[in-house]
Amino acid sequence: MTDNDSATGKAMPKAVARPPKGAPQSLPLPRGQLVLVGCGAFAVTQLPNLAVVLRRWYGCRIRACLTDAGSRLVARDALAAATGSPVWGPHWPTDQGMVPHKELADWADMVIVAPATANFVAKAAHGIADSLALSVVTGTAAPVFVAPAYSEHAFARPSTARNLRLLEEEGYHVVPTERAVSVHNGRVAEGGMASMTSLLGFIGRVTSTMDGGDEPRGEGPARAGHGLDEEGARVDGTR
């Protein structure tokens, strides 16, 4: 990967639609650069769509990084198309004359991990960095938002609450989980990854207290809750 436009992550020419109520109207991204990390939970299949929406609403440049398990659950080509940039990880491209984890960690104005697995949360909470994705997350000075996804019984374990608490003590912003449909048995259970609108609403509330952030308009993902942004485009479906 070189530092040309495609490796850097193309911005949309500008934000092409205003975000809906409940989502932040802007993100505190001084250089307009956002890193998305995807782990090996089924919800990683939603990551390309999140990238499209973030570029559409905020005009930011995005680089995505996958764990090994994440790279088996989502198509790299879809993520590359959605971000306008080659996908990083799980391998370390050390033959490109750079230090990949530092390159990504320093490039990021913000990192969003969506989804974060139980494994990823436990490791990050303990400062373990045995993958490119974990090295980026543990090694960045940028704010990191972590949206965990658990299986029902893993979520109920005491270690889960402990690790999430530790993660917050480490300064990560932990997005609350939600009841979600299990891909395994079709039942609704606790511990699922936040929906896109909940995730953005949470980021809006946190960043409104940061320099450069602004208040999300209104409480909750009003129109986005209907899956529409202000131009009437579906936010939960891309083509």
Chosen residue from 22, 70, 143, 213 binding ligand FMN by CB under 6 A: 70
Q: What is the CA radius of gyration of the chain?
A: 17
| 206 CB neighbour count, 10 Å cutoff | 16
Q: DSSP labels for 55-102?
A: HHHH--EEEEEE-HHHHHHS-HHHHHHHHTSPPB-SS--GGGSS-HHH
Q: Which is nearer to ligand FMN, 122 or 203 (CB)?
A: 122
CB of 80 to ligand FMN, least distance (A): 19
CB of 120 to ligand FMN, least distance (A): 4
Chosen residue from 29, 41, 114, 142 binding ligand FMN by CB under 6 A: 41
Chosen residue from 33, 34, 42, 56 binding ligand FMN by CB under 6 A: 42
**Candidates 105-113, 118-126, 209-217, 225-233 — which segment interacts with ligand FMN by CB under 6 A?**
118-126
**129 makes contact with ligand FMN (CB under 6 A):** no
Going by the DSSP 8-state scheme, the letter that residue 209 receives in this structure is T
Site string for ligand FMN, 146-185 (x = CB under 6 A): ---xxx----------------------------------
In contact, 106 and 140? CB cutoff 8 Å: yes
Q: Which is nearer to ligand FMN, 130 or 211 (CB)?
A: 130
Going by the DSSP 8-state scheme, the letter that residue 221 receives in this structure is -
Q: Which is nearer to ligand FMN, 117 or 135 (CB)?
A: 117
CB of 192 to ligand FMN, least distance (A): 8
CB of 39 to ligand FMN, least distance (A): 3
Instruction: Please work out the total of residues on this chain that contact ligand FMN, with binding judged by CB under 6 A.
Output: 16
Chosen residue from 27, 34, 39, 82 binding ligand FMN by CB under 6 A: 39
In contact, 51 and 64? CB cutoff 8 Å: yes
Token duo for residue 160: 């889960």
Rounded to whole angstroms, the Cα distance separating 13 from 68 reads 32
**67 makes contact with ligand FMN (CB under 6 A):** yes
Q: Number of helices and strands (H, E) in the chain?
A: 10, 7
Cα three-residue angle 21-30-127, rounded to 5 degrees: 95
**Candidates 21-29, 61-69, 173-181, 215-223 — which segment interacts with ligand FMN by CB under 6 A?**
61-69
**119 makes contact with ligand FMN (CB under 6 A):** yes
CA-CA-CA-CA torsion for 220, 222, 228, 231, nearest 10 degrees? -110
From 11, 140, 121, 7, select the one nearest 67 (Cα to Cα): 121
Binding residues vs ligand FMN (CB under 6 A):
39-42, 67-70, 117-120, 131, 149-151
